[in-house]
Amino acid sequence: MANVDELHGEPHVQRYLETNGEEGFHWKGTEILILFTKGRKSGDERRHALIFRTWEDNAYLVVASKGGADAPPAWFLNLQDNPEAEIQVKDERIAVRARVANDEEKPAMWSRMVEVWPDYDDYQTKTSRPIPVVVLERV
């Protein structure tokens, strides 16, 4: 069985869900949630393990970095098409609505995310697209 820190993608999602986050919530010094979206073309459920931070009392922050690629991650495109989604944090499944942080709030939110994953700053230097911070608000 692989070390949880070595997991990526679907194997990470599966381990997290099978253990209600007992394995996979903590990953490389960060905390992970599972984002459930609907595919914008297929309508099928999509699942993604993402680094997150809480924001205020009712929101979770994630970053649509895709490692600094010029194209955004598919999950971000899915949320643009349908902002209604669900997340799982440990064993709690939560309905959320996604929005992109506005220009006024993004600097503070970006700093909060960089505190836990400094590579985000490096990712931004690799692409000309502004990497969005996505706010997942409880509904």
How do the domains of the chain map onto residue ranges?
A: 4-138
**Cβ–Cβ < 8 Å for 136, 59:** yes
Residue 1 has pLDDT above 70, yes or no: no
Please classify residue 28 by burial: count the beta carbons closer than 10 Å to its beta carbon, then call 0-12 exposed, 13-18 middle and 19+ buried: exposed
In degrees and rounded to multiples of 5, residue 56 shows phi and psi of: 55, -145
pLDDT digits (tens, 9 = 90+) for 72-127: 999 999 999 999 999 999 999 999 999 999 999 999 999 999 999 999 999 999 99
pLDDT digits (tens, 9 = 90+) for 21-39: 999 999 999 999 999 999 9
Residue with tokens 């073309």: 41
Q: In the CATH scheme, what architecture does the domain 4-138 have?
A: Roll (2.30)
Mean pLDDT of the chain: 96
